[in-house]
Structure 1
Amino acid sequence: MGQHHKPNHSSAPAKPGSEAKIRLDKWLWAARFYKTRSIAKDMIEGGKVHYEGHRVKASKEVTVGAQIRLRQGFDEKTVIVTALCERRGNATAAASLYEETPDSIEKRELAAAQRKSISAATPGSANRPNKKQRRQIIQFRHQQSE
């Protein structure tokens, strides 16, 4: 009766100019930006991912040459899509799917250096505050908010 069509599940990335259609959430997962597709979808819906400078839905089709800006933890990355793949491969295969812009690399390194200098300047405590110290902290914060 009906013929079943199997989608192309090759692990090799699609080359520029090919007509592969891949959802944004699936591409972000395959490129190893997020651990699961549902996390990628949540990030897209939360406005943490911008495709060509615009907020989009997780079902947006990715094209080669597109610019994607995304947040990962403290870092914000801007990448250019160089290939399409709907299967999650190893890290080297994932890195071949995109190219980070030089401006993005520079901003990330600067932000990391700032975070490192701030954490080095902040005195660390050897142990947790005791009950009296916690009460003093709470009282101090309460006075600051008034």
Structure 2
Amino acid sequence: MDNVRIDKWLWAARFFKTRSLATDAVDTGRVRLEGERIKPARAVKIDDKLLIDNGAELWEVRVLGISDVRGAAPIARLLYDETHESVAKREHDHEARKLYREPGTTIKGRPTKRDRRALSKASE
């Protein structure tokens, strides 16, 4: 299997839940190959370096395997190798989110008038 679309590979490697989300990410430029924007139909090759922003995290990976089948997470993890810098940055970002929570994360649903007042008071 040498010819797999980048959006299909991103879905198979479990960076996105659906292929349509992967396609949208590639279309909007959140997935870059060697720093360049690409199209969803671009074929992925072994040793390609991808920069992937899946909305929650930023990944910098090197392609190790090609697959168009979405398998179990441990198998999907064998399709790529994350750079050491990317791992360190993601861990740092995770720690920062733990220490400095956003003010509105504890509110479920639409904020009430009382919640809005508390948010504005916290931001002052």
In which range does the TM-score fall when normalised by the shorter chain? 0.7 to 0.9
Q: CA deviation at 1:131?
A: 3.9
> 1:28 and 1:84 mapped to 2: Cα distance?
10
Residues 129 and 40 (structure 1), Cα distance of their counterparts in 2 relative to 1, 3 Å cut: closer
Structure 1 residue matching 2:8: 3-state secondary structure: helix
Match for residue 35 of structure 1 among 17, 38, 47:
17
* 2-structure distance, mates of 1:25, 1:55: 13
Matched residue pairs, number?
121
Trace 1:1-146 onto structure 2 (pairs within 5 A).
20-119=2-101, 131=113, 134=116
CA change 1:79–1:131 in 2 (3 A) is closer
Shift of 1:41: 0.2
Post-superposition offset of 1:28: 0.3
| Ranges of 4+ aligned residues in structure 1 off by more than 6 Å | 123-129, 135-138
- Shift in Å, 1:105: 0.2
2:20 partner letter: S
- Shift of residue 47, structure 1, vs aligned partner: 1.1
Offset at 1:73?
2.7
Distance in 2 of aligned mates of 1:116 and 1:125 = 13
SS of equivalent to 2:10:
helix
Give the residue type in structure 1 aligned to 2:50.
Answer: I
SS in 1 for 2:14: coil
- Aligned letter for 2:41? S
Q: How does the TM-score come out when normalised to structure 1?
A: 0.71
Specify the structure having the higher radius of gyration (Cα). 1
Q: Percent identity?
A: 37
Give 1:72 deviation, angstroms.
Answer: 2.2
Match of 1:96, SS state, is helix
Cα 1:117–1:27 shift into 2, 3 Å: same
Measured after TM superposition, the shift of residue 135 of structure 1 is 6.7
Q: Cα 1:117–1:30, aligned 2, differ >3 Å: closer, same or farther?
A: same
Which runs of 5 or more structure 1 residues have no equivalent in the other structure? 1-13, 15-19
Alpha-carbon separation, structure 1, partners of 2:107 and 2:19: 40
